[in-house]
Structure 1
Amino acid sequence: MCDVVSEELTKREWFVTGNVPFELFSSDFTFKDPDVQLSGIDNYARGVRRLFDQATSRAEIIACRLNATVPNTITIVWRLEGKVNVGLGLRIKPYVVFTDLRVSPSNGLIEYQEDRFSLPGWDIFL
């Protein structure tokens, strides 16, 4: 699963495009970051597509590996840059995001995603 996630993220950049490979996700998928919490992969994909300016935003994958300390978890380190569709469009300074994808041991699908940022929220737009 880790290899598939890495390949699909590199190709689709779904963290900023919302172009999610739906077949990899559980119907019970939930997402959390410091500002947002939601349920459903459809809601996640729509939200990401609306939030990020599709012409300028990029998700550059730095590393994708099995988490050695948290079972059934893939950890992705990636660099986010571009603009968000807030107001007239705000540029965000590039920063690193740490994403944990928890995979269900019963069906092998991604059931949970949590994002942690290398910058505090107030500093992202400065």
Structure 2
Amino acid sequence: MLAQQRELQADADGVSSRRLVLVGMAGMAMAVGLPLASSWPAEALPLGPLGPVKRVGGEKLTGLGAEEVADILRRDLAVGQYFVTGDLTREIFADDCRFVDPTNDVSGLSKYLTALGVLFDPAYSKVELLGIRATGPRTVEADWRLGGYLVFPWNPKVEPFEGHTVYTLDESGLVAEQRQTWSISGATALAESFTPTFGPRRQLF
């Protein structure tokens, strides 16, 4: 029993040590002004300084139902590829919308768009929409696949993975929260984000 406890403690110490390394690497990225591309599971971190929350886009499209919002998001994902380009319909998102994924947690549409603009290389990154539907009066859910390259100096490659997004609408019908879960862990995402890629970039799927 004692040996088993010691083994469990050793495993815990190993995890703790690895986390310290990950935190240090993420800190270095933030220190040089790079947004965090990843972290570890279930501990989303705020993105680095991205400026104050400010109004973006035109007049907000309030009063839309979940089905109507789903139709707009379908275009934004399938055509606009907004996870890698930032080309989304700003008018359906609240300016203080919260964006959460396994690695980052940021409040503010303007901040989110700033982060997207300095993250993926849109020429070699792609979003494949697998499905989107309204699942309630104030919820829309989407399934998708994403892969590509980050614009960091060491040319990291993000191998294709699948994700699920839940959009929550507020009382006015605007998207108040976008929450993602992924088929890969945050640790895997971090490893990819700090792994150099050599040779020319190419389409991954």
TM (norm. structure 1) is 0.89
Return the offset for 1:101. 0.8
Per-residue deviation at 1:85? 2.1
Residue 186 of structure 2 corresponds to which residue in structure 1? Answer: 121
1:20–1:45 Cα contact (<8 Å) kept:
no
Which of 65, 76, 79 pairs up with 2:142?
76
| Structure-2 separation of matches of 1:7 and 1:54 | 17
For residues 77 and 15 of structure 1, the distance between their equivalents in structure 2, rounded to whole angstroms, comes to: 13
Give distance in 2, aligned partners of 1:67 and 1:89: 38
Alignment of 1:57-68 (within 5 A): 57-67=125-135
Other-structure match for 1:90: 156
Give the deviation of 1:28 after TM superposition. 2.1
Tell me, in whole angstroms, the C-alpha distance in 2 between the residues paired with 1:97 and 1:11: 17
C-alpha deviation, 1:18, in angstroms: 0.9
> RMSD between aligned alpha carbons?
1.6
1:86 positional shift: 2.9
Pair 1:39-2:107 in alignment: yes
Higher helix content, 1 or 2: 2
Question: Where do 1:91-106 residues align within 5 Å?
Answer: 91-104=157-170, 106=171
Where in structure 1 are there 5+ consecutive unaligned residues? none
Report if aligned partners of 1:52, 1:84 keep a CA contact under 8 Å in 2: yes
* Per-residue deviation, 1:112: 0.4
Find runs of 4+ consecutive structure 1 residues off by over 4 angstroms.
none
Q: Does the residue aligned with 1:67 lie in a helix, a strand or coil?
A: strand
Q: Percent identity?
A: 28
Unaligned runs of 5+ in 2: 1-68, 196-205
Structure whose residues are more often strand by fraction: 1
